[in-house]
Structures are given as structure tokens and as C-alpha cells.
Amino acid sequence: MKNIIILGAGLVGSLLSIYLSKRGYQVTVYDRRPDPRQKGYVGGRSINLALSDRGWRALEKVGIEQKIKEIAIPMRGRMMHDTQGKLTFQPYGKEEQAIYSVSRALLNIELINHAEKETNVTFHFNQKCIEADLDHKILTLENIENEEITSVSTDFIFGSDGAFSATRLAMQKTDRFNFSQTYLDYGYKELTILPIDGKHALEKNALHIWPRGNFMLIALPNTDGSFTCTLFFPYKGAPSFDSLQTEQEAFAFFQAYFADIIPLIPQIEKVFFTNPTSSLVMVKANPWVYQTDFALIGDAAHAIVPFYGQGMNAGFEDCLVLCEILDKNKDNWELSLQEYQESRIPDANAIAELALNNFIEMRDLVGDEKFLLRKKIEAKIYALYPEKWIPLYSMVTFSPKLRYSEALSIGKKQDKIMQEVMQQPDIQTQWESLNFEEIVRKLG
Ligand SMILES: Cc1cc2nc3c(=O)[nH]c(=O)nc-3n(C[C@H](O)[C@H](O)[C@H](O)COP(=O)(O)OP(=O)(O)OC[C@H]3O[C@@H](n4cnc5c(N)ncnc54)[C@H](O)[C@@H]3O)c2cc1C
């Protein structure tokens, strides 16, 4: 039996451990953080996140989606807040379709518990990898509590140690490894809207967006009645993290752009300075595989910006696709690893591009009338020809069998067609009499 070490007990590493243990491998997971079940959840990249169909499909395959549904809140559309506090609801898809807000900590703990109790995975926490010898499959680990150094060896290593992966760093020292890391000129800051009388202060089943041109605030619901808000904001310029230096400046900023949340976040001008500002990084790597016994997965292979809510979903999909390939090849790893990276790298690149584009859509266009009309027209085409024209958001979010790279390519064609449609005179008043069949035919 193959012994497998997974470095990183984050969302993707924990799910991967379940998949591999179910295949009969002996799986051991190491993570530098303390056990989140004993010491609370440390760090993490956001308090909650949006789980959608690709992620659900991967959870379903190992039988834990029902458990996760119990801790997830459906969000059926975007609730836009304008500067006057006026609300507009825009459904994400058909009536029953939703994305789900889930606590990162609870999700991670459920995955670890399931891996440990329902399968046979062993976890070691407080173990930071300080060196990875990929040729000999040896990891050097430092116990972060007592600084003790140990070495562990195995038959196979998965690097699921996130955007700043130590195992990927070892890959960077191998021949012909391509790698890029790019920071956005934007950072993010999380703020909390507390419950009112134990209930959600805003509509619970929506992802709230305050689009403000080149910046935005979003809020996702939590099961305790609170919302986690995230302000995506430039580092420099006016306004920016740089330009807001005093509590008065911060208060005036919220008053000008987000007046409706001031009563919901007590002392907003103070928490703005006490809560940390975090950066947004994108990472691309190629190859993801070294020899026949090492592979990158999840953010270690493809960290993307969070604007499509797909980073974790894509990482979960990596696990599913890898195991489908192993099924097909009867666990021939050499063959399967090549297929895994050949199939996943184009998809990871596609969702990276889609996520960047969606930032513009979320922060700017969702408040734009022409853009909203275009969405309405596309929704109508989708309703008339559901097999032939699926809007891009639905392809990415609600069509888990369609690859990200296919969604991107179809989306580009749709964009070209819709740009022409929107040029038509009197489109605002005449859109209902468009020849929808002709529009769909152009897609081929
Ligand atoms: C603000 C924000 C919002 C997001 N929202 C969404 C969303 O709505 N939907 C979505 O799908 N995705 C979202 N994402 C992306 C999502 O967070 C990531 O894609 C996901 O966490 C990747 O999981 P992972 O297990 O690959 O990496 P991580 O979650 O980063 O886990 C990596 C693990 O490796 C461990 N580790 C790291 N280095 C070492 C080392 N040297 N030794 C030992 N252990 C190590 C870490 O302690 C950690 O436990 C968001 C990201 C951000 C930043």
C-alpha cells in the first residue's frame, strides 16, 4: 500500500485526505497550525466563503455534503445597496439555484473530523515544513511549540499548503518550472455586522454588495446571525487605505459611501483601524507534478483572487478530477498525474482570468443600468433556450460538469454577441422584441 503525506490540513488538504484514504491509501497530514478543534481556528484567508455547485459535487462524492449543508446558508442572489440605501435584488440563476455561505472554520473542522473518524487519516498539527526534499520524498518539520525538528519520509507527497506553499518553493528549484506571483493593487479588510435581537440585520439569503466604482463592500451571512463584510479597497489613491489615516476620515468615508451600514457596525471608525488589512495574491505554476510521486493541489497550485468565489471550489474540484482520473487508470499514478495536470492547468488559468474580470463586474457594473439590462436580456434568452445559452455566471457557478476553460471560451463568444445586441438603437425600450432565436444561433 502506498503511504501518502499531505502537507496542509486546510480546506483542500483535508478533503483530499478523505478521497485518498477511501481509495485505500495510508494518509498522514501535517499542518503548521494548531489543531483547530482544540485551540480555535487560527488565521485563514477569510472568515466565511461561498460554496457552490463544483464544491458541492466534490463533497457529495465522498458523502459529506449533507453534514456541510447543515452549516451553510443559501444565498439566492446579489442584493445591491446604492449610496442612498436603496436595495435591488438580482437572482443568481433559476429560483432553486443558490450559492452557500459557510464558515471556513466550521467547514475545515467538519472535514478534519470526517477524515479522522470516518476514514483512517492521521493528522499532526503544529508541524511547519521548513524543507522539502522532493527527490527523496522527505519533509523536514519544525514543531512550532517546542522547536523540535523531525524528518518524515513517504512514497508520495501532495503539496496542499496554500498560496505561499513550502513544497512549491522546492519545485521552484527544479528544472523548467514556471511560476508567477502577482499582487493586486487592492487589499481587503473584514468587518462584522452583529445580529439584531439574535436575527440577521440584513436579508439573510443574499450576498450583499455595495458597488462603488473602483472599490466595493460585500457581506455574507453567518449562522450566528452576524454578517462578515469585506471591503475591497485600493492601497493608494483617493479614497484608499493610504488616504484614510484618522478616525474622522474613516467615518466620513463610510458616511459618504456606505451610510446604511454605519448603524450596524458599532464604532466603525475604530474597528476600521483595529482589524487587519490583508493583501490579494495570484499564483500560477506549471508543472504541478514532479517525477511520479509529488503533486501540487489547491491554492499551492493556483491561488486566484476571490471575486468569483471559486478558489476553494476549484481546489475541491481538483480532488474530484484527480480521483476520477485515478479511477479510469486503475490507480496508475504515473499516467494519472500527467492527465491531472494537463486537464487542470488550463482550467485553473481560466478561472484565474474569470475571477479577475468579475472584480470589475462586481465593484462597478452591477450598479450600471445598461449592464443590468444586458443581464435581463441574457436571463430571458436562458429561459427561452436553456440548453443553448447559459449565462457565464451560471456556467461557472451552477454547471459543474462544464470545465472552467469551456465556460471562459463560450463566455467570450457570448460577450461579443451581446456587445452587438446592446449597440442596437432603443435597446432600453425595444429589448423584448429582439429576435432571440437569431441571437442564440450566432453562438453556433
Ligand atoms: C478574502 C478571500 C475570500 C475568499 N472567498 C472564497 C469564496 O467565497 N469561495 C471560494 O471558493 N474560495 C474563496 N477564497 C479562496 C479560498 O480561501 C482558497 O482557495 C482555499 O482556502 C484554498 O484552500 P487550500 O487548502 O488549498 O489552502 P489554504 O486554505 O491556504 O490551506 C493551506 C494549509 O497549509 C498550511 N501550511 C501552509 N504552509 C505550511 C507549511 N510550511 N508547513 C505546514 N503547513 C503549512 C496552512 O496552515 C493551511 O492550513 C477566498 C480567498 C480570500 C483571500
Give the Cα separation of 162 and 309 in Å (integer): 16
**What percent of the chain is modeled with pLDDT above 70?**
99
pLDDT of residue 43: 67
Residues 270-316: pLDDT tens digits? 999 999 999 999 999 999 999 999 999 999 999 999 999 999 999 99
- Between the CA of 343 and the centroid of ligand 1 the distance, in Å, is 22
Asked if omega into 234 is within 30° of 0 (cis), the reply is no
Closest-CA residue to 312 (of 101, 43, 75, 66) = 101
Give the cell for residue 10. Answer: 486546510
Alpha helices in 124-275 (DSSP H): 166-171, 247-257, 268-274
Instruction: Report the atom number in ligand 1 closest to the C-alpha of 45.
Output: 53
Residues 370-390: pLDDT tens digits? 888 998 999 999 999 999 999
Residue 300: what residue type? A
Q: What is the arithmetic mean of pLDDT over 24-40?
A: 94
Q: Atom 9 (ligand 1): residue with closest C-alpha?
A: 309
Give the residues surrounding ligand 1 with Cβ less than 6 Å away: 7-13, 30-33, 45-46, 49-50, 128-129, 160-162, 166, 188, 230, 298-300, 306, 309-313, 315
Give the Cα separation of 138 and 328 in Å (integer): 29
Task: Quote the pTM value.
Answer: 0.97
Q: Atom 41 (ligand 1): residue with closest C-alpha?
A: 129
Q: DSSP string covering 14-78, please?
A: HHHHHHHHHTT-EEEEE-SSPPHHHH-----S-SEEEE-HHHHHHHHHTT-HHHHHTTEEEE-EE
Q: Is 234 exposed, middle or buried (0-12, 13-18, 19+ CB in 10 A)?
A: middle
CA 83 to chain centre: 28
Residues 82-98: pLDDT tens digits? 999 999 898 988 878 99
Query: How many CB atoms neighbour CB 409 within 10 A?
Result: 12
pLDDT at 1 over 60: no
Give the Cα separation of 306 and 129 in Å (integer): 26
pLDDT band for 444, please (50, 70, 90 cuts): confident
- Between the CA of 188 and the centroid of ligand 1 the distance, in Å, is 15
Mutating to test ligand 1, I would choose from 15, 288, 299, 354 the residue with most ligand atoms within 8 A of its C-beta, which is: 299
- Between the CA of 299 and the centroid of ligand 1 the distance, in Å, is 6
pLDDT band for 105, please (50, 70, 90 cuts): very high
Q: Is 412 exposed, middle or buried (0-12, 13-18, 19+ CB in 10 A)?
A: exposed
pLDDT of residue 367: 67
Find out whether 151 and 136 touch, Cβ atoms under 8 Å. Answer: no
CA 226 to chain centre: 21
Mutating to test ligand 1, I would choose from 11, 297, 319 the residue with most ligand atoms within 8 A of its C-beta, which is: 11
* Helix, strand or coil, per DSSP, at residue 401: coil
pLDDT of residue 370: 87
pLDDT at 362 over 90: no
- Between the CA of 67 and the centroid of ligand 1 the distance, in Å, is 21
Average pLDDT score, the chain: 95
Q: What is the arithmetic mean of pLDDT over 136-140?
A: 98
Residues 191-237: pLDDT tens digits? 999 999 999 999 999 999 999 999 999 999 999 999 999 999 999 99
pLDDT of residue 427: 94
Give the Cα separation of 47 and 229 in Å (integer): 9
Q: Atom 49 (ligand 1): residue with closest C-alpha?
A: 10
pLDDT of residue 49: 97
Mutating to test ligand 1, I would choose from 6, 14, 46 the residue with most ligand atoms within 8 A of its C-beta, which is: 46
Mutating to test ligand 1, I would choose from 17, 151, 161, 232 the residue with most ligand atoms within 8 A of its C-beta, which is: 161
Residues 107-124: pLDDT tens digits? 999 999 999 999 999 999
Find out whether 210 and 366 touch, Cβ atoms under 8 Å. Answer: no
Give the cell for residue 61. Answer: 462524492
Q: Atom 7 (ligand 1): residue with closest C-alpha?
A: 309
Q: What is the arithmetic mean of pLDDT over 399-407?
A: 97
pLDDT band for 44, please (50, 70, 90 cuts): low
Rg of the Cα atoms in the chain = 23
- Between the CA of 416 and the centroid of ligand 1 the distance, in Å, is 35
pLDDT band for 133, please (50, 70, 90 cuts): very high
pLDDT at 10 over 70: yes
- Between the CA of 12 and the centroid of ligand 1 the distance, in Å, is 8
Residues 6+ apart with CB under 8 A from 157: 4, 5, 6, 7, 132, 134, 137, 139, 167, 293, 294, 295
Give the Cα separation of 294 and 378 in Å (integer): 44
